[in-house]
């Protein structure tokens, strides 16, 4: 974003009172938010809480605000006047003001409990998406008694998850957000003592987060919500989108300011994207203007199938390196990226993968959780192993209760007394002996001992898995982990960390993961219609493709094999019919400095 604000951005910065900033893609919303925060903090009688959805977004906002305050010759305030944090982090802080600080499970540990619950309920791979959707809707709902679950196994999963959660003696992030929102709404918990609140990505708030925000607004806190209902793509998380933003406007008679100037996309990209999204009926109307003018390329290319698509895309990337110095490949699902990844690896084309990786696949996540347990004694690391060995549900639950959040005794060879059959007891005793041996090996500080434990656990873990594919994955990952250096904790932290600092200029990620980012060139692969069109929400589909298209500054190519997605047909994207024509089109895209923020 240029250092000088536009007239509408300046209006948003200067406005006091409840405010909705409708910020289109590339409109400089972050720069506007930072300037508004700086103006608020100039007044020492005012205080500000800035709310984001991810730790990365909170850190980025904090850095940019610190720079802005420094330029204004202001010091960064303490937490009595400024907090920049996620909803969940704020909920934990807020609850602690009304009592002792709660002990909260990490997201990865929550996932272990959820996977155990689905295993116990017999959820198949095909049923997983619908059950997970039901689970998320239930956990994020204000009125859980009246949630209409779509799958017959969903309630069994919810009940099992709650049972396991109770066994850990801790709470989870779902419960923290729910307790905080409900207590704030009822008045049982006093609002945070801040004069102002700024909510980023407001279209993504759910019912609980809306309750929490509204409780503060009713108490006199001046609330600014920044968002774009056209970019609401998290329906499966109960994101309210248009309804949430509309209810804020109506409930508090909030002032509305539209940021329609787009400083990111060339007109050839923004125009078709705006044409497509205008077909949605339930949206806040907007007037979008491509301030960078013309000179971009938006093209479609049809291939005979996914293999042809991936090979042709790899050829294009290799033949147009200048246009791929800052590029992304976006897909609806990670499976599409998995297939492309293999082609890029064979071709020697460097890339970085953001989102689901091999380390996050269920069997590998279980292996890593087991290794982590050997370090910190968190007993949930036992659950994946016990599932694979078909240890009874009641035994798994009772073992968690008996360990009371500390697997130390079990890891030292002591199995608690449990009501279990002889087969399960025998396995638990053998597993405890293994763990005791591995712990003794880890107590030797020599690097070689760590390597041997990783390989030994990997070999044993692979033997517990049920499929040849899982065995190969565990063997591959254990060898990679063993070849690293440093402590076991550091190795685990390294492979589980999302790599956002890679030197590769080509990024692979899902469309959902790309929101908030931008690239010179964007490729959208497998942009096909569903075979039968079942389960498709046309408005949600347009929003998803709108986000994908508007990530591109200068060039965007939609790749199809078969029937082109309806949303892209509505955008009236020009097709290129030969590989050479596509190469020429991509090379013709011109790049000018981007002003987007």
pLDDT tens sequence for the chain (597 residues): 446 899 999 999 999 999 999 999 999 999 999 999 999 999 999 999 999 998 889 999 999 999 999 999 999 999 999 999 999 999 999 998 877 777 888 888 899 999 999 999 999 988 988 999 899 989 988 999 999 999 999 999 999 999 999 998 889 999 999 999 999 999 999 999 999 999 999 999 999 999 999 999 999 999 999 999 999 998 777 789 999 999 999 999 999 999 999 999 999 999 999 999 999 999 998 999 999 999 999 999 999 999 999 999 999 999 999 999 999 999 998 878 877 876 887 787 888 888 766 677 788 899 999 999 999 999 999 999 999 999 999 999 999 999 988 999 999 999 999 999 999 999 999 999 999 999 999 887 555 689 999 999 999 999 999 888 788 888 888 887 888 888 899 888 877 765 444 567 999 999 999 998 999 999 999 999 875 444 578 999 999 999 999 999 999 999 999 889 999 999 999 999 999 999 999 999 865 544 444
Phi-psi region of 470 (alpha: psi -120 to 50; beta: other; left: phi over 0): alpha
515: annotated binding-site residue? no
23: annotated binding-site residue? yes
- On whether the CB atoms of residues 192 and 90 are closer than 8 A, the answer is yes
Q: Taking CA 393 as the corner, what is the angle to CA 390 and CA 394, rounded to the nearest 5 degrees?
A: 130
Q: Positive or negative CA dihedral for 160, 163, 168, 174? A: positive
572: annotated binding-site residue? no
27: annotated binding-site residue? yes
Distance (Å, whole) CA 387 – CA 384: 5
Task: Give SS3 for 487.
Answer: coil
DSSP 192: P
Locate tokens 């399960």: which residue? 424
29: annotated binding-site residue? yes
Locate tokens 């498709």: which residue? 536
Structure confidence at residue 595 (pLDDT): 46
Q: Which helix (H) or strand (E) holds 161?
A: helix 154-168
426, 400, 432: which is closest to 414 by C-alpha? 432
26: annotated binding-site residue? yes
- On whether the CB atoms of residues 253 and 18 are closer than 8 A, the answer is yes
Q: Positive or negative CA dihedral for 317, 1, 230, 297? A: negative
The H helix count followed by the E strand count for the chain is 24, 15
168: annotated binding-site residue? no
Can you give the C-alpha Rg of the chain in angstroms? 26
550, 580, 592: which is closest to 320 by C-alpha? 580
């Amino acid at each position: 974003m240029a250092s000088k604000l536009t007239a509408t951005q300046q209006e948003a910065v200067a406005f006091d009172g409840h405010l909705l900033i409708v910020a289109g893609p590339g409109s400089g919303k972050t720069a506007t938010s930072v300037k508004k925060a700086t103006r608020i903090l100039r007044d020492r009688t005012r205080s500000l809480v800035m709310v984001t959805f991810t730790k990365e977004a909170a850190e980025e906002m904090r850095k940019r605000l610190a720079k802005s305050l420094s330029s204004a010759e202001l010091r960064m305030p303490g937490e009595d006047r400024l907090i920049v944090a996620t909803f969940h982090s704020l909920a934990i802080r807020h609850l602690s003001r009304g009592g002792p600080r709660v002990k909260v499970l990490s997201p990865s540990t929550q996932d272990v409990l959820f996977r155990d619950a689905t295993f116990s309920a017999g959820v198949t791979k095909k049923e997983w998406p619908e059950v997970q959707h039901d689970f998320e809707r239930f956990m994020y709902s204000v009125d859980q008694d009246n949630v209409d679950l779509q799958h017959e196994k969903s309630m069994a999963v919810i009940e099992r998850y709650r049972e396991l959660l109770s066994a850990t003696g801790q709470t989870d992030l779902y419960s923290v957000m729910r307790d905080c929102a409900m207590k704030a709404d009822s008045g049982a918990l006093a609002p945070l003592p801040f004069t102002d609140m700024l909510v980023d990505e407001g279209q993504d708030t759910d019912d609980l987060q809306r309750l929490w925000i509204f409780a503060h607004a009713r108490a006199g806190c001046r609330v600014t919500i920044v968002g774009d209902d056209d970019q609401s793509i998290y329906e499966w998380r109960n994101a309210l989108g248009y309804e949430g933003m509309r209810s804020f406007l109506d409930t508090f008679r909030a002032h509305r300011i539209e940021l329609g100037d787009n400083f990111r996309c060339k007109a050839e990209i923004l125009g078709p994207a705006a044409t497509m999204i205008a077909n949605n009926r339930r949206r806040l109307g907007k007037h979008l203007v491509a301030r960078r003018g013309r000179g971009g390329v938006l093209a479609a290319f049809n291939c005979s199938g996914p293999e042809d698509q991936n090979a042709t895309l790899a050829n294009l990337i290799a033949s147009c390196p200048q246009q791929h110095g800052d590029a992304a490949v976006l897909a609806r699902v990670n499976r599409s990226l998995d297939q492309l990844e293999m082609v890029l690896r064979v071709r020697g084309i460097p890339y970085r993968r953001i989102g689901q990786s091999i380390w996050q696949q269920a069997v590998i996540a279980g292996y890593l959780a087991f290794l982590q347990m050997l370090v910190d004694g968190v007993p949930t690391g036992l659950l994946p192993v016990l599932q694979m060995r078909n240890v009874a549900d009641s035994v798994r639950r009772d073992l968690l209760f008996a360990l009371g959040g500390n697997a130390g005794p079990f890891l030292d060879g002591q199995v608690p007394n449990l009501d279990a059959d002889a087969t399960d007891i025998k396995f638990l005793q053998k597993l405890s002996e293994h763990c005791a041996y591995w712990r003794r090996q880890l107590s030797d500080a020599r690097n070689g001992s760590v390597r041997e434990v990783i390989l030994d656990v990997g070999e044993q873990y692979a033997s517990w898995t049920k499929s040849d594919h899982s065995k190969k994955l565990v063997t591959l990952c254990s060898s990679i982990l063993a070849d690293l250096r440093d402590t076991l904790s550091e190795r685990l932290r390294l492979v589980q960390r999302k790599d956002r600092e890679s030197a590769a200029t080509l990024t692979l990620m899902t469309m959902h993961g790309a929101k908030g980012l931008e690239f010179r060139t964007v490729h959208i692969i497998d942009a096909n219609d569903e075979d039968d069109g079942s389960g498709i929400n046309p408005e949600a589909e347009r929003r998803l493709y709108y986000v994908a298209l508007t990530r591109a500054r200068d060039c965007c190519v939609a790749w199809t094999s078969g029937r082109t997605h309806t949303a892209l047909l509505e955008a009236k994207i020009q097709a290129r019919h030969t590989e050479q024509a596509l190469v020429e089109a991509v090379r013709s895209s011109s790049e000018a400095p981007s002003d987007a923020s």
